[in-house]
């Protein structure tokens, strides 16, 4: 077919670097005949004349599955109600930046909405899917029974990664998603990150020194790790009756439901919460 041969000539001349959009324009310029995009794509596919600049990395089935996943984003199960009546049921997660002399360290932390305890965290020099996967690994070891728990995050790309979402599904974790770029949808975790930066980094090293990256990674990271340990086990919180998060959980292992609830009612509420 003359049209197919014209396409072949153009691709050979340009080392198969022409996609169908540019091919459509070039064909019209060189042959004087217009062609629809669908027909052009079909001809290029059938004749093996597609561009090889950005070849597909996955099968068509994988692309379909991923399109469906994008179209079915998790709902917001928290809806800015940052509380939990029982421990180990509702969690929030977020990534915060730790500015260092050598560059940025990214801290991904998960906190329990029952007592604001940081139950798992991981840090890395790369803000990627692996950071989130490693954090979930620590989370699973700490919580053990993850089936049915809620994990709320913002709509950042790291939390929308397919590997991350698939891991949560495997563990039975109910993913909750707030709006992207809206700090109020994950205010509890944003507040906790603020505590880490102000009480740990700014107070210890000075806010100007941190913001201007004057403190080395070897000082910043151990300071944050040390502070998280203190925050969980030693720092009193007014909202918890001046107890630390861990002490509050240990004194309320079954939560803070009214004592008049019957056992069956308690179990029903625990599943709902």
CA distance 147 to 167: 12
| Position with higher pLDDT, 62 vs 46 | 46
State the average pLDDT for the chain: 86
pTM above 0.85, yes or no: no
CA distance 55 to 42: 16
pLDDT digit string (tens) for 171-217?
A: 999 999 886 656 677 889 999 999 999 999 999 999 999 999 999 99
Of 4, 14, 12, nearest to 42 by C-alpha is 4
Tokens of 257: 């439901």
Contact 85, 150 (CB under 8 A): no
SS3 202: helix
**Beta partners for residue 176, in sequence order:** 152
CA distance 243 to 234: 8
Strands 150-153 and 174-177: parallel
The answer to whether residue 262 scores a pLDDT higher than 60 is: no
pLDDT band at 116 (very low <50, low <70, confident <90, very high): very high
Give the model's pLDDT for residue 260. 40
pLDDT digit string (tens) for 49-90?
A: 888 776 556 566 666 666 665 567 888 888 888 889 999 999
State the DSSP H helix or E strand holding residue 107, giving kind and residue range, or none if neither: strand 103-112
Give the model's pLDDT for residue 68. 66
CA distance 202 to 94: 20
């Amino acid at each position: 077919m003359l049209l197919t041969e014209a396409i072949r000539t153009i691709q050979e001349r340009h080392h198969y670097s022409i996609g169908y959009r540019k091919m459509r324009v070039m064909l019209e310029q060189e042959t004087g005949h217009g062609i629809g995009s669908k027909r052009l794509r079909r001809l290029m596919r059938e004749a093996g004349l597609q561009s090889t600049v950005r070849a597909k990395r996955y099968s068509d089935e994988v692309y379909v599955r991923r399109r469906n996943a994008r179209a079915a984003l998790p709902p917001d199960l928290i809806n800015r109600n940052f509380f939990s009546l029982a421990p180990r049921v509702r969690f929030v997660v977020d990534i915060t930046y730790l500015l260092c002399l050598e560059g940025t360290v990214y801290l991904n932390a998960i906190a329990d909405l029952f007592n604001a305890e940081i139950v798992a965290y991981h840090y890395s020099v790369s803000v990627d899917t692996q950071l989130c996967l490693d954090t979930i690994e620590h989370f699973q070891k700490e919580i053990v029974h993850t089936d049915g728990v809620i994990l709320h995050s913002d709509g950042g790309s790291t939390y929308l990664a397919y590997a991350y979402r698939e891991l949560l599904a495997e563990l039975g974790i109910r993913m909750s998603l707030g709006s992207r770029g809206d700090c109020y949808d994950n205010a509890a975790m944003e507040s906790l990150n603020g505590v880490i930066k102000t009480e740990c980094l700014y107070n210890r090293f000075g806010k100007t020194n941190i913001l201007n990256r004057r403190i080395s990674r070897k000082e910043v990271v151990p300071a944050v790790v040390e502070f998280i340990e203190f925050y969980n086990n030693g720092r009193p919180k007014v909202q918890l009756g001046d107890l630390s998060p861990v002490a509050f959980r240990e004194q309320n292992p079954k939560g803070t439901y009214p004592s008049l609830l019957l056992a069956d009612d308690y179990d029903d509420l625990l599943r709902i919460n």
